[in-house]
Amino acid sequence: MRLLLMRHGQTHANVSGELDTAHPGLDLTDLGRAQAVAAAKALADERIDAIYVSSRVRTHQTAAPTAQARGLEPVQLDGLQEIAAGDFEMRNDHDAVAGYIGAVAAWLDGDLDHRMPGGETGEEFLARYDAAVRTIAEAGHEAVLVVSHGAALRTWASTRTAPSPQAPPAHQPLHNTALIVLDGDPRTGWELVSWQGHPVGGDFLEDPTAEDPTGDLDSDGDGEIG
């Protein structure tokens, strides 16, 4: 099957740089809604049999234009939610952002026992995301759009695809409405088809002034992760 993994559109927390991971989460900005509309147009020629979203409102809002255009009803799967910020929730100070980045970077380096302060370990995150993807695969669709979250998508896709010379490193951008495409299934594994780190609807939908703590990964812990 083909998985089209899209990060949600820009939210007010992305602009302010806050680590917004709890339910229900903040709404999309006007730019985020424009990104969602543009994404639906950009995906017009892609086969999409079903659309899955997390429980966070921003994924529902991002999926809505594509769902309306296809006559599909998005299916909510709780396992697709963002990596919980735990003790760093709704903070945007340097220590909180660096702590969040550091925990996810440790998972990407293979230390899956590391625990996000006040949150989950890498093993726990992968287990619940794997379970959500298995549910999607078992539905029998050939092509599925999953609207999820930056750090979650980066970590799961980087961990669950085989390394290859063509595969971008985990620190590549994954901005709002960026798109990762995978082929495969939970039993045989996943192959990375493409990693488009910028808005699928076009680079003109970027907001270079936004803090966006879940858009890029800085290996020194001073930047951002998505």
- Show which residues are catalytic: 8, 82
Whole-number Å distance between alpha carbons of 68 and 34:
15
Cβ contacts of 178 within 8 Å, gap of 6 or more: 6, 7, 196, 197, 198, 199, 200, 226
CA dist list (Å): 76 to 102, 141, 154: 29, 16, 20
Burial code (b: 16+ CB inside 10 Å, e: under 16) for 64-99 equals bbbbeebeeebbebebbbbbbbbebbebeeeebbbb
Distance CA 38, CA 43 (A): 9
What is the 3-state secondary structure of 166-188? CCCCCCCCCCCCCEEEEEEECCC
